[in-house]
């Protein structure tokens, strides 16, 4: 058959390069190194000859994509064949999965229905994708399906007789009617999984039998473009080269990440009066353009409770360019809302509010820019109304930044209030955010103490080595019980 007539695949492969865990010896203590060694030794023989298939809906943008790359790379580095495939869907499908995503967080989202029609679109989109995946899965393999976008494939893949794990990265602290409606929609699929993995016990669904539950807290890769150490002079050049500040680098700016040269050449876009003056202090929130990240609330906190008290400080809200995240249909509308709120501010405040769209064309270049922003920020804010885990918080803590964040979701697992950051109990309390931020801006010694404690907390609990070993613990008994094809 001519290639012009060949069907377009519904799954695309994301290439992941193997990574060595050796570098972790430079960031872990002896107990940490030992734990990793033992985990690898137990897992290696069990996973020989098997592939662990990971399926999600985007290769870039958002926390899940951010975590999968390094985790699968490290898995490959220890000899586990770990693959990553991304599902294709149409806008109607992604509108429904976004609705599910929002409701699992306890947020109404677009307020649309989750009825028979939506279920029909959901299952009929996923059925051919599951068939395509089934053709590639061998006996003895393991399938790890991530989030609501892929849960509907659990029954079809389980029918192959391979272990199927559903990994849900989102959840709500309390299950209200909205949460229950999304769970109800997904329940027939999810109950067919051999294990359901949540980020924290509070997110586990009551209807899932206890012996099928497992928990893995998310993590960050300390050696990725997003988190790798950077000299202050490089940070300054990255911010200048991307047009975030008015600093002019003396040479073209290139960062070397894992042996690859990453030139910083693309300029940020967005809504601002002009670049930040080099060296200016700024409060930073890095987030997708999503209502649950509350960009309008972030602008209001700054305008009403920070800008006048601390006249030299700026606000930077950095998000991906709005066309860049394919499974996020609301992004452009939320960005427009933030621009509209900024436009309402008096000129003196408006010029200090920078809404940045960071290009996503090269994920490493994007990550280097975010890294430089996080390292340079005076304070990192995460004013989420709900949060599965909040990797942006982990990233800032690893960079020893003082973080002020809502006490929601996984953020409370990360920040010990007043020891390694500040939590605000009510995410809608603008005054409380303002007060916490102003206090730290006026007390740099306290801010530095919180930042140093934050880095230690991440070192011990939230680096990729720990998640990798946790996943292996969940998957090892399933793999051991799944017969491989005989010789
Ligand atoms: N992120 C990014 N570029 C951006 C905005 C966000 O790389 O312009 C990254 C951010 O650094 C973090 C992830 O996207 O690694 C967001 O994960 P988080 O858990 O904070 O939230 P989610 O987007 O998954 O709800």
Q: Which pLDDT belongs to residue 454?
A: 98
Q: What Cα–Cα distance (Å) separates residue 476 from each residue in 22, 43, 425, 447, 454?
A: 22, 6, 39, 42, 32
Q: Which pLDDT belongs to residue 1?
A: 45
| pLDDT band with cut points at 50, 70 and 90 for residue 330 | confident
Encode pLDDT of 173-230 as tens digits. 889 999 999 999 999 999 999 999 999 999 999 999 999 999 999 999 999 999 999 9
Q: Indicate whether 487 pLDDT > 60.
A: no
Q: Which pLDDT belongs to residue 212?
A: 98
CA of 63 to the centre of ligand 1 (A): 5
Q: Indicate whether 329 pLDDT > 90.
A: no
Q: Which pLDDT belongs to residue 121?
A: 97
Ligand 1 atom closest to Cα of 363?
7
CA of 392 to the centre of ligand 1 (A): 6
CA–CA separation, 26 and 147 (whole Å): 33
Encode pLDDT of 162-173 as tens digits. 999 999 999 998
Residue of 195, 227, 200, 201 lying closest to 69 (CA atoms):
227
Residue of 157, 218, 217, 169 lying closest to 193 (CA atoms):
157
Q: Say if ligand 1 is within 6 A of residue 395 CB.
A: yes
CA of 393 to the centre of ligand 1 (A): 10
* Weakest-pLDDT range from 79-88, 108-117, 250-259: 250-259
Q: Which pLDDT belongs to residue 258?
A: 79
**pTM, whole model, 2 decimals?**
0.90
SS3 269: strand
Are 196 and 176 a contacting pair, CB within 8 Å?
no
Name the residue of 298, 391, 394 whose CB sits within 8 Å of the most ligand 1 atoms, as the mutation to test its pocket.
391
| pLDDT band with cut points at 50, 70 and 90 for residue 325 | low
Q: Which phi and psi (to 5°) does residue 322 adopt?
A: -70, -15
Q: Say if ligand 1 is within 6 A of residue 66 CB.
A: yes
Element of type H or E holding 481: helix 464-481
Q: Indicate whether 5 pLDDT > 70.
A: no
Nearest CA to ligand 1 atom 10: 392
Q: What Cα–Cα distance (Å) separates residue 238 from each residue in 244, 265, 319, 391?
A: 9, 9, 17, 22
CA angle, 390 then 357 then 344, to 5°: 95
User: What's 230's DSSP letter?
Assistant: -
Are 271 and 355 a contacting pair, CB within 8 Å?
yes
What's the whole-number average pLDDT of the chain?
94
Q: Which pLDDT belongs to residue 316?
A: 98
Residue of 377, 364, 213, 210 lying closest to 298 (CA atoms):
377
Encode pLDDT of 47-72 as tens digits. 999 999 999 999 977 788 889 999 99
Are 329 and 110 a contacting pair, CB within 8 Å?
no
Rg (alpha carbons) of the chain, rounded to whole number:
22
Q: What Cα–Cα distance (Å) separates residue 400 from each residue in 135, 387, 395?
A: 46, 21, 9
| pLDDT band with cut points at 50, 70 and 90 for residue 8 | confident
Residue 311 CA to chain centroid, in angstroms? 33
Q: Where are the alpha helices (DSSP H) in 9-136?
A: 30-47, 63-77, 91-104, 116-136
Q: Say if ligand 1 is within 6 A of residue 288 CB.
A: yes
Crossing angle (nearest 10°) for helices 177-190 and 116-136:
40
In sequence order, which residues have a C-beta less than 8 Å from that of residue 91 and are 6 or more positions away? 329
Tell me the average pLDDT across 128-155: 97
CA of 219 to the centre of ligand 1 (A): 12
| pLDDT band with cut points at 50, 70 and 90 for residue 324 | low
Q: Say if ligand 1 is within 6 A of residue 363 CB.
A: no
SS3 261: strand
Residue of 124, 123, 94 lying closest to 110 (CA atoms):
94
Encode pLDDT of 255-304 as tens digits. 998 788 999 999 999 999 999 999 999 999 999 999 999 999 999 999 99
Mode of pairing for the β-strands spanning 314-320 and 282-286: parallel
| pLDDT band with cut points at 50, 70 and 90 for residue 2 | very low
Tell me the average pLDDT across 315-325: 86
Are 397 and 414 a contacting pair, CB within 8 Å?
yes
Ligand 1 atom closest to Cα of 393?
20
Q: What Cα–Cα distance (Å) separates residue 390 from each residue in 386, 412, 478?
A: 9, 10, 29
Higher per-residue confidence, 312 vs 7? 312
Q: Which pLDDT belongs to residue 327?
A: 63
Q: Which pLDDT belongs to residue 4?
A: 59
Sign of CA dihedral 226, 231, 235, 237: negative
Nearest CA to ligand 1 atom 6: 287
| pLDDT band with cut points at 50, 70 and 90 for residue 363 | confident
Residue 131: how many other CB atoms lie within 10 Å = 13
Q: Where do the DSSP E strands lie in 178-334? A: 195-198, 213-215, 254-257, 260-263, 269-271, 282-286, 314-320
Q: Say if ligand 1 is within 6 A of residue 318 CB.
A: yes
CA–CA separation, 471 and 475 (whole Å): 6
Q: What Cα–Cα distance (Å) separates residue 33 from each residue in 20, 28, 147, 366, 476?
A: 13, 6, 31, 31, 20
Ligand 1 atom closest to Cα of 226?
11
Q: What Cα–Cα distance (Å) separates residue 121 from each residue in 92, 233, 352?
A: 8, 52, 45
């Amino acid at each position: 058959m001519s290639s012009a007539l060949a069907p377009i695949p519904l799954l695309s492969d994301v290439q992941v390069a193997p990574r060595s865990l050796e570098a972790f010896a430079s960031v872990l203590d002896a107990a940490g190194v030992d734990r990793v060694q033992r985990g690898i030794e137990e897992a290696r023989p069990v996973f020989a000859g098997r592939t662990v298939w990971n399926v999600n809906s985007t290769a870039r943008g958002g926390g899940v994509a951010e975590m999968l790359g390094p985790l699968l790379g490290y898995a490959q580095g220890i000899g586990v064949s770990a693959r990553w495939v991304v599902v294709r869907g149409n806008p109607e499908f992604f509108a429904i999965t976004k609705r599910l995503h929002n409701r699992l967080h306890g947020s109404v989202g677009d307020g649309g229905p989750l009825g028979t029609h939506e279920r029909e679109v959901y299952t009929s989109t996923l059925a051919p994708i599951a068939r395509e995946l089934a053709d590639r899965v061998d006996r003895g393999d393991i399938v790890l399906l991530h989030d609501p976008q892929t849960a509907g494939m659990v029954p079809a893949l389980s029918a192959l007789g391979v272990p199927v794990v559903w990994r849900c990265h989102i959840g709500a602290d309390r299950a209200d009617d909205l949460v229950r409606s999304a769970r109800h929609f997904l329940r027939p699929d999810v109950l067919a999984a051999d294990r359901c993995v949540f980020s924290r016990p509070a997110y586990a669904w009551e209807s899932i039998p206890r012996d099928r539950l497992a928990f893995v807290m998310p993590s960050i890769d300390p050696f990725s473009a997003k988190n790798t150490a950077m000299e202050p002079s490089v940070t300054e050049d990255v911010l200048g080269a991307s047009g975030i500040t008015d600093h002019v680098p003396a040479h073209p700016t290139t960062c070397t990440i894992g042996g690859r040269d990453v030139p910083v050449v693309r300029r940020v876009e967005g809504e601002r009066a002009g670049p930040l003056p080099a060296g200016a202090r700024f409060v930073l929130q890095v987030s997708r353009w999503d209502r649950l990240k509350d960009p309008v609330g972030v602008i209001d906190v700054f305008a009403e409770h920070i800008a006048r008290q601390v006249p030299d400080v700026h606000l930077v809200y950095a998000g991906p360019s709005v066309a860049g995240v394919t499974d996020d249909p609301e992004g452009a509308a939320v960005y427009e809302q933030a621009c509209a709120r900024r436009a309402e501010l008096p000129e003196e405040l408006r010029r200090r509010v920078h809404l940045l769209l960071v290009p996503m064309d090269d994920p490493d270049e994007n990550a280097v820019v975010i890294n430089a922003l996080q390292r340079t920020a005076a304070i990192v804010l995460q004013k989420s109304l709900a949060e599965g885990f909040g990797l942006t918080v982990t990233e800032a803590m690893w960079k020893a930044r003082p973080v002020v964040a809502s006490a929601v979701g996984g953020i409370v697992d990360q920040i010990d209030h007043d020891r390694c950051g500040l939590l605000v109990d009510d995410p809608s309390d603008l005054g409380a955010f303002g007060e916490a931020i102003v206090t730290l801006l006026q007390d740099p010694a306290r801010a530095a103490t919180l930042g140093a404690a934050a880095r230690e907390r991440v070192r011990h609990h939230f680096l990729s080595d720990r998640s990798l070993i946790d996943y292996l613990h969940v998957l090892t008994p399933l793999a051991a019980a799944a017969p491989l094809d005989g010789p």
